[in-house]
Structure 1
Amino acid sequence: MIERSFRMTDPQGMHARPASAVVKVAKGFSSDLTLVAEDAVSLKNMMKILSQGIQPGTTFTVQASGEDEAAAIQAIADVLKNEGLAEEA
């Protein structure tokens, strides 16, 4: 398992459009991808991601475990950055 920490930079926090982009990327990998904020939830489930209520300035962790974990966590980091959601903490 590998993990990376991020800080939410989007002024609206985690919301539907970027969460959808994260889920789309996450579903392309066989590894288990988890968002750890208030709780640990699957990055392949948009409603669970949104349920965390991640606000600007919040630090959260992304964990990947599986055969393609390194590529998966890098892809998630890229989409978080490209969507203007978060930066590495």
Structure 2
Amino acid sequence: MVSKRVVISNPTGLHLRPAGNLCKVAMNFKSHITFSYGDNVANAKSVLSVLGACVKCGDELEFKCEGPDEEEAMSAMVEAIEGGLGE
């Protein structure tokens, strides 16, 4: 398992479009990918789970990837978030 903390820089947080883009990236990997924010743990492969976390700009998330391609998955997730998730 690998984990990393990232800060959301999207001005509007993870609303529907960036949440969908995050899920698209996560779905490319076999690993189980989650993130925690406060008391919430969200499945990064589920748009409803990501939206339910109510992530706003400046929030710090801790991503955890566990599985056969966990290193690649973590790199892709961090790269997508730092790239603005299509926003």
Q: Give the TM-score, by structure 1 length.
A: 0.88
Shift of 1:8: 1.6
Q: Any idea what SS the aligned residue of 1:9 has?
A: coil
User: Where do residues 36-75 of structure 1 align in structure 2 (5 Å cutoff)?
Assistant: 36-38=36-38, 39-75=40-76
Unaligned runs of 5+ in 2: none
Unaligned runs of 5+ in 1: none
Q: Any idea what SS the aligned residue of 1:57 has?
A: coil
Task: Flag as ranges the 4+ runs of structure 1 deviating above 4 A.
Answer: none
Indicate the residue corresponding to 1:27 in structure 2: 27
Indicate the residue corresponding to 2:6 in structure 1: 6
The C-alpha deviation readout for 1:44-82, integer Å capped at 9, x for no partner, is: 001110111111221111100011000001011111112
Q: Give the TM-score, by structure 2 length.
A: 0.90
Separation (CA, whole Å) in 2 of partners of 1:27 and 1:84:
14
CA contact (8 A) 1:9 1:84 kept: no
